[in-house]
């Protein structure tokens, strides 16, 4: 992986690319560039015939099948994530130890979203798609090598600075921990342990962006499972043998980050895109593609920074609401992120490369049609998910977490925060579909302006809701801000003529409204008809009841839509 940048290899990283690009452009356009190696494909896909006759990275893609692939692996990730949270809740409850860990874990996560996963993906994927579709394989590989070099060196330096200044960072994020016994020094120590995580997860993000651009969604979607497996192994087998058991969770983060990158190696090797990290980052910075990515990352980082600043403020407020508040919100976050990842993140993942290609091809009709498909899928699946969080919050929380030290009071507190999230869930998910509509066109400034407005509104909402609702007011404010964010993004796309709604939206909304009203009534009846915390003594019965309820809810919702004449065939769409 490390490249010593000898002169024979220098051109592949930062040399003169003009001749190389010219040589490869015609072959890429002729459709003969690495057909067997660039097919993307599934998890363990074998070589075989290509029935379309097109290069594998240029074949039409079944969007719904791709969504099912990403959502399936994301579901596995979330199930193992819930198992992780359940195990942590059983072992530690909502205590100063979990407060310290979640604060410490949030810090590298924030930096990851700022420097890599958020801003980097938004800037990198559209430019990578442009290189792949217009400049050929060698130029694309050179961009990946140079970008990985710059990313790795920059984040290594940031990691060293974070380890040295961990105490100041923790104080800035959660100053309230200083009044909570051991929590503050624990958070500082675990922050130092976990800071290098940003290096591994950032390289993972780069690898995921490359694979997604080549229409391989399986490996990137599977990778987060390994972080959860690392957590589960550490909590179950390592923590009991440590003097300070919670440290096992911090080391699990490092191991999980490394595993997430390594699992994508076979996919990268198959398409000849394994990144080489060079020893001279200054030379890598000279790559023209890197310069463009970094230029786009400036507004992208600012956009993500605004959202993460809101999260930091909320964490600080929560740390002042009493012991357990940070953990209550964290557990609610885990449940809220379940539909957000299954739907919002999955849709955004498959749409961004396709939108970027439509933009490169100057196909405005395809661009608008992709957004229309994504919006309809979002409303179709986000509406029942939001009702589940809003109406069925206590049963979900009790079934997943009400074990060991996680008592009935904690269930109630988490359920309150979760129900408040339900109010804004549709808006939270819509952002994942609408924002790529700007990113694919390499317009990041518009989302930045919207994010600034939303930050102000979110914090003003905190002043209104927190005195009344406590910690649940924080999650409600996030939902209000997300709803406003999605509305402003939608208005921006419409005003610029980027998105033109297809016919049938009024009928579509009426069908969703009818099915949702029936579903809400049935959910409410189930929620109040059983003592969900009282079933703690019969965990298997409670799990079975919850699973049966969810299956019934899904059958009822989609059955009602079918009775009202809903056409599911529309969603079997292909991207060019």
Which of 29, 50, 30, 31 lies closest to 40, judged by CA?
Answer: 50
Q: Using CA atoms, how far apart are residues 200 and 453, in angstroms rounded to an integer?
A: 33
CA distance 258 to 203: 9
Residue 76: closest CA among 266, 228, 254: 228
254 domain residue, yes or no: yes
Task: Look at residue 52 and tell me whether its pLDDT is greater than 60.
Answer: no
Give the number of domains in the chain.
Answer: 1
Q: What is the DSSP letter of 379?
A: H
* DSSP-derived secondary structure letter, 535: G
What is the pLDDT confidence band of residue 398, given thresholds at 50, 70 and 90? very high
Q: What is the pTM of this model?
A: 0.73
Q: Is 163 exposed, middle or buried (0-12, 13-18, 19+ CB in 10 A)?
A: middle
Dig out the tokens for 374 from the structure: 């994504």
Domain-located, residue 153: yes
Intra-chain end-to-end CA distance of the chain, in Å? 34
CB atoms within 10 A of CB 111: 22
- Residue 252: inside a domain, yes or no? yes
Cα distance between residue 165 and residue 170, in whole Å: 9
462 within 8 A of 473, measured Cβ to Cβ: yes
499-505 average pLDDT score: 90
Q: Which residue has the higher pLDDT, 270 or 241?
A: 270
Strand partners, 574: 62
pLDDT attached to residue 46: 39
46 domain residue, yes or no: no
Helix (H, G, I), strand (E, B) or coil at 103: helix
Let me know if residue 222 belongs to a domain: yes
Domain that holds residue 245: 1-27+93-313
Helix (H) or strand (E) holding 575, with range, is: strand 574-575
> Is residue 355 a part of any domain in this protein?
no
Per-residue pLDDT band for 511 (boundaries 50, 70, 90) equals: very high
Q: Which residues pair with 278 in a beta bridge?
A: 3
- 561, part of any domain: no
What's the pLDDT tens digit per position in 173-212? 777 777 666 778 888 888 899 888 888 888 888 998 899 8
> 429 near 382, Cβ under 8 Å?
yes
Distance CA 223, CA 458 (A): 32
Residue 300 lies in a domain: yes
Cβ–Cβ contacts within 10 Å for residue 62, how many?
14
Q: In percent, how much of the chain has pLDDT > 70?
A: 85
Residues 6+ apart with CB under 8 A from 251: 193, 234, 238
């Amino acid at each position: 992986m490390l490249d010593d940048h000898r002169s024979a290899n220098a051109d592949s990283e930062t040399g003169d690319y003009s001749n190389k690009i010219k040589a490869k452009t015609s072959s890429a356009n002729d459709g003969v560039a690495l057909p067997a190696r660039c097919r993307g494909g599934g998890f363990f896909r074998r070589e075989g015939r290509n029935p379309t006759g097109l290069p594998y990275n240029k074949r039409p893609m079944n969007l719904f099948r791709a969504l099912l692939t990403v959502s399936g692996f994301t579901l596995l990730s979330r199930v193992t994530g819930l198992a992780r949270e359940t195990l942590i809740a059983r072992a530690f409850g909502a205590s100063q130890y979990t407060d310290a860990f979640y604060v410490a874990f949030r810090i590298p996560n924030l930096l990851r979203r700022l420097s890599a996963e958020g801003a980097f993906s938004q800037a990198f994927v559209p430019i990578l798609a442009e290189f792949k579709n217009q400049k050929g394989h060698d130029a694309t590989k050179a961009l990946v090598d140079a970008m990985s070099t710059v990313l790795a060196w920059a984040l290594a330096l940031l990691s060293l600075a974070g380890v040295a200044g961990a105490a100041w960072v923790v104080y800035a994020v959660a100053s309230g921990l200083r009044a909570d016994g051991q929590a503050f020094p624990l958070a500082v120590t675990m922050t130092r342990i976990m800071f290098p995580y940003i290096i591994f997860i950032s390289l993972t993000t780069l690898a995921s962006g490359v694979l997604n651009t080549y229409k391989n969604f399986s490996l990137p979607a599977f990778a987060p499972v390994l972080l959860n497996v690392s957590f589960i192994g550490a909590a179950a087998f390592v923590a009991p043998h440590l003097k300070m058991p919670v440290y096992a969770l911090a080391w699990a983060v490092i191991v999980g980050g490394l595993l997430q990158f390594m699992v994508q190696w076979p996919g990268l090797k198959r398409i000849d895109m394994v990144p080489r990290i060079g020893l001279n980052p200054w030379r890598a910075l000279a790559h023209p593609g890197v310069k463009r990515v970094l230029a786009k990352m400036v507004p992208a980082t600012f956009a993500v920074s605004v959202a993460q600043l809101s999260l930091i403020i909320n964490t600080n407020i929560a740390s002042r609401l009493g012991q357990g508040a940070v953990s209550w919100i964290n557990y609610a976050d885990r449940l809220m992120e379940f539909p957000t990842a299954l739907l919002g993140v999955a849709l955004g993942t498959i749409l961004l490369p396709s939108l970027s290609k439509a933009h490169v091809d100057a196909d405005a009709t395809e661009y608008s049609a992709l957004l229309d498909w994504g919006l309809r899928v979002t409303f179709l699946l986000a509406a029942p998910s939001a009702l589940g969080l809003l109406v069925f919050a206590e049963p979900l929380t009790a079934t997943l977490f009400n074990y060991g030290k996680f008592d009935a009071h904690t269930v109630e507190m988490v359920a309150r925060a979760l129900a408040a999230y339900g109010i804004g869930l549709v808006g939270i998910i819509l952002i994942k579909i609408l924002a790529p509509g700007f990113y694919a066109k390499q317009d990041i400034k518009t989302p930045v302006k919207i994010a600034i407005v939303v930050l102000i509104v979110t914090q003003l909402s905190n002043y209104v809701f927190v005195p009344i609702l406590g910690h649940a007011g924080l999650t409600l404010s996030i939902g209000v801000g997300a709803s406003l964010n999605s509305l402003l993004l939608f208005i921006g796309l419409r005003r610029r003529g980027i998105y033109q709604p297809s016919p049938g939206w009024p009928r579509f909304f009426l069908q969703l409204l009818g099915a949702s009203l029936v579903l809400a009534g049935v959910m409410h009846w189930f929620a109040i008809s059983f003592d969900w915390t009282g079933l703690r003594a019969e965990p298997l019965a409670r799990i079975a009841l919850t699973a049966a309820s969810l299956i019934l809810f899904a059958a009822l919702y989609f059955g009602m839509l079918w009775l009202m004449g809903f056409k599911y065939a529309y969603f079997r769409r292909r991207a060019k």
